[in-house]
Amino acid sequence: MSKQLFSGSIGRKFAMALSALFLIIFLLQHFTINFTSVLSEETFNELSHFMGTNPIIQFVMQPILMFGVAFHFIMGFILEIKNRNSRAIKYAKNNGAANSSWMSRNMIWSGLFILFFLGFHFYDFWIPEMNYKYIEMKPEDPNRYYDEVVHMFASPGRVIVYCLSFVFLALHLMHGFQSAFQSMGARHDKYTPAIQKIGRAYAILIPVGFIFIAVFHYVNSL
């Protein structure tokens, strides 16, 4: 039975929703740590040092995160291909705006933009970080993180790419957050309005918060 559970259309959407909720939780954690860079250099360095050197974070949580990210994207592509195949001939005239939101109809495009951003973020941050720690094996300096972030956001081009990406992230989350609950069957007259409100708040506050961090460090660098 379990084979059919995850190969069927509902099973695939359930898996998609589970990975989405995992990424939503990760994003909140990522934001919380990044936001401390605005409040206190010392706290940000302490937290970053912990995240960057703790073996459980590095060798257990990080691979799980990688798997979650890859799974969400690959499953997204599989679903998109299957969905496109379900309608071989397109409508000559289709008025999608009459019955659904732009965000809900364009999850693949907002998702692809986020994938592009992740590629950039990996190239820009993760690969140099791995290189620093595990290839060049430089000695750990617990106070390097804050200076690195400040240096990163001194570049206006990078700040623009980051800000634009967070706009797409907001659009993706605006539909994705509540959609994940619906896919898992979590819908109730009492709780669904609250889930939708929390989803909208999350979709706006987290990306706006990330944009604020980037702009804050840029402005400080001027």
Q: Is 190 in the site for another protein (CB under 8 A)?
A: no
Give the integer Cα–Cα distance in Å for 166 and 203: 10
143-172 positions binding another protein, by CB under 8 A: none
Q: Which of 55, 139, 157, 185 binds another protein (CB under 8 A)?
A: 185
CB of 91 to another protein, least distance (A): 6
Residues in contact with 9: Cβ distance below 8 Å, sequence separation at least 6, in sequence order = 82
Burial group, residue 185, by CB count within 10 angstroms (0-12, 13-18, 19+)? exposed
Q: Which of 61, 79, 112, 130 binds another protein (CB under 8 A)?
A: 79
Give the integer Cα–Cα distance in Å for 176 and 111: 10
Q: Is 73 in the site for another protein (CB under 8 A)?
A: no
Give the integer Cα–Cα distance in Å for 61 and 30: 13
Closest CA to 203 of 177, 179, 184, 181: 177
Q: For the residues of 55-68, what is the DSSP string, one character each?
A: HHIIIIIHHHHHHH
Q: Which of 19, 45, 165, 183 binds another protein (CB under 8 A)?
A: 183
- Taking CB under 8 A as the binding criterion, the range among 41-49, 60-68, 87-95, 119-127 that sits at the site for another protein is 87-95
Give the integer Cα–Cα distance in Å for 118 and 129: 15
Closest CA to 45 of 166, 161, 140, 187: 140
Q: How many residues bind another protein (CB under 8 A)?
A: 42
Site map (CB under 8 A) of another protein, residues 88-127, x = contact? xxxxxxxxx-xxxx--xx-x--------------------
**Which residue type, as a one-letter code, is found at position 47?**
L
Q: Is 10 in the site for another protein (CB under 8 A)?
A: yes
Q: Which of 184, 195, 205, 208 binds another protein (CB under 8 A)?
A: 184
Q: Is 186 in the site for another protein (CB under 8 A)?
A: yes
Q: Which of 39, 87, 135, 139 binds another protein (CB under 8 A)?
A: 87
3-state helix, strand, coil in the chain (%, to 5): 85, 0, 15
Q: Which of 83, 131, 143, 220 binds another protein (CB under 8 A)?
A: 83
Q: Is 85 in the site for another protein (CB under 8 A)?
A: yes
- Taking CB under 8 A as the binding criterion, the range among 143-151, 159-167, 179-187, 213-221 that sits at the site for another protein is 179-187
Chain residues in the site for another protein (CB under 8 A): 1-2, 4-5, 8-14, 79, 82-83, 85-96, 98-101, 104-105, 107, 175, 178-179, 182-187
